[in-house]
Chains A and B, each alone.
Chain A
Amino acid sequence: MMWCRPLAVVALAIIGMASIPPVPPAPDVDALLRHLDDLYRSKSSIARIEIQVINPRTTRSLRLKAWTRGEEHSLIVIEAPPREAGTATLRVEDNLWNYLPRIARTIRVPPSAMLGSWMGTDFTNDDLVHESSMRRDFASRVDRRSDAPAGWWLRLDVKPDIVGRWARIDVLVSDDDLPVEERFYDRKGRLARTMTFDEVRPLGGRRMPVHLTLVPADVDGQRTEMRYLEAQFDVALPEDTFSLSRLEQNR
């Protein structure tokens, strides 16, 4: 295996870590985090996603199609199960609407109802709406090397005065600069949940893990899984994609 010792020494000197085995060059953490922050983002996108919510009592599967533009606009239409097919959710800035095909009605969701978990999953509202950025809100450094899978563990500690749930996030990044695992620690330093990424595949012109699993730490038998079936990024979307009239049309 090729390695460049002088570069490693410099990197180690900068990062201040001791590591003996042959290692690839230590990552530029800042650039790495920027890459991670942007991995699933784009100016606009169309994607088909499968979600499974599993808890000890029930298992629920959904397949949906999602259009997004920037951070403020999104349209999600449920494709499966058939009972809920056609149900759509439109978000424009701080407004949220639901379209229910069974009763042919559009309902605006009051802001107070948006505070809870998203669609009954383990994802919280912050995950989807809040613009938290690992790069911006956390002080980061390389923690240690991981051999299997090959990659680096990054340690992120929340900066003071940042509003958020997590005091610390441990991120395992593969040598391909793709996330493998993220461990979230609450403000008391306890492990609260773990997100794992796998099934790396080409998606919409990028190469990324398409399967995400979110497991809360202290609840048995509960997890949420998300799988990207297909996606297009930075795609041109018609102007009226994120409108109420579009919401109510059949696609």
Chain B
Amino acid sequence: MVSTRYAVRSVGRNVRRTILSVVGIGVGCALAVFMESMNRGRDELFARAAASSGIGHVRVVPRGWRERRDVRARLADWQHDRDVARSTPGVASTTIRSRTQALVAMGTHVVPVELVGVDPATEPSTFRFVREITHGRYLRPGEHGTVVLGQSIADRLRAGLDDDILATAVGPRGSIESAMLRVVGIVATGSEDADLAVCQVAIEDVTKLTGLKGAGEVVVMAGDWRAADAIRDALTQRLTGGDEAMTWGELAPEFKGHNEQDKAAARFVRAIILLIVLLGVASAQLAAVLERRREFAVLSALGMRAGTMVVLVLQEAAALGLAGAVVALAIALPVVWQFARTGLDLRSAYGSSNFTFSGAFMEPVFYGDFGVWIVPWVVALAVGATMLASLYPAWFAARTDPAVALRVAQ
């Protein structure tokens, strides 16, 4: 086609203009995809905050727990549930817990707590705060009669490492049962409320105190947080006895709510990003076409039809867009990949001793999103934006009155 041959040759004719265009489109699209990667990365933040606060990505809970949230409820068959969870694809790790309300006391000092029976081997993978014990050590697998406390609890009890505290809970048939626990570790989260939530013992200790057999929850951490819904559905089909599976979003509606709010804003931001890219490309293209009025006038005078000129401009635009996409991918792919892998450690941005991140449920690291979506997204954006941006210039070029155009002194 004439227009295609012309397009190809016009590219070569003004190399600088072409390069400028392509680079402009490439940079713009690279920036846009980087921004989009961050946009999507924010989703991960909320999931991670919920998950590492001890909630996990998916949790198996007893029947009726969804409404009542009774900490003393127990699963119908926790071993089966855990086996099912472990054998579900996409699951990275699992752990079990059982809870009860209790009082812990030292002398006359008493603190009401939620006593959490855990499996020390797998608990740290789901609960960030027990990964680093401030004083002492964490519970050891197979150990009984020991406890890890939050700093606030230890302070209120005036207790320290190696002290024996008295735990009192409601036992079987409503009796009051007590047991001695030795403090082997103290956790300082930086937040009083978070400290009060840390009171962990071996799961057998809770069973002995309460007489409630088995585990109350199976916590599941997914390899990819986005698989949470799929894992929940897979679990639901295989669980028995009324036990149910819930995702982090259902367990912690406040995190989910923030996520939804953020998503709504993200949609708006996406629109802004796209508009900016479109604007940049459009103005550059229009400027280029405006400067070529004489050239189009000549073509028109030579007999090129308006329609052909439009196609010409659009074909040029498509080619430029494609080239721009290649440039964009070359710039963006390695950067986005690195950003998704190591993330941005905000501690250094804020200052590592900054109070902002004490008591944090999650590491203050921000990961971008990297996926198959990037290539088609960039190509569509680059080609689409350039062609869209060239519509007006194309129409403009086609409408040029050759006589008028040739007359104007450049």
Contact = CB atoms under 8 A, between A and B. Distances in A.
A187 B182 CA distance: 10
Interface stretch (A43-51, A124-132, A240-248): A124-132
Contacts of B101: 112, 115
A82 interface: no
Interface string A94-124: 1100000000000000011011110000101
Contacts, number: 76
B110 A130 contact: no
B30 interface: no
Interface string A124-157: 1110011000000000000000000000000000
Contact of B106 (A125, A130, A165): A165
Q: Is the interface on chain A under 10, 10 to 19, 20 to 34, or 35 or more residues?
A: 20 to 34
A111 B176 contact: yes
B107 A193 contact: yes
B11 interface: no
Nearest to B178: A163
Given A116-B110, A165-B106, A186-B107, A95 B174 contact: yes
Given A94-B173, A163-B166, A188 B106 contact: yes
A213 to B, nearest CB: 14
Q: Which of A111, A130, A186 is packed against the most chain B CB atoms within 10 Å?
A: A186
A111 B107 CA distance: 22
Contacts of A62: none
Contact of B176 (A122, A125, A186, A217): A125
B320 interface: no
B165 interface: yes
Interface string B126-170: 000000000000000000000000000000001110011110111
Q: Is the interface on chain B under 10, 10 to 19, 20 to 34, or 35 or more residues?
A: 20 to 34
B168 A115 contact: yes
Given A116-B103, A126-B178, A193 B108 contact: yes
Given A117-B110, A165-B166, A130 B103 contact: no
Contacts of B175: 94, 111
Interface of A: 94-95, 111-112, 114-117, 122, 124-126, 129-130, 163-165, 167, 184-188, 190, 192-193, 216-219
23 contacts: A94-B175, A112-B170, A115-B101, A115-B168, A116-B103, A117-B110, A126-B178, A130-B176, A163-B178, A163-B179, A163-B180, A164-B178, A167-B164, A186-B107, A186-B108, A187-B107, A187-B163, A188-B106, A188-B107, A188-B158, A188-B159, A193-B108, A218-B158
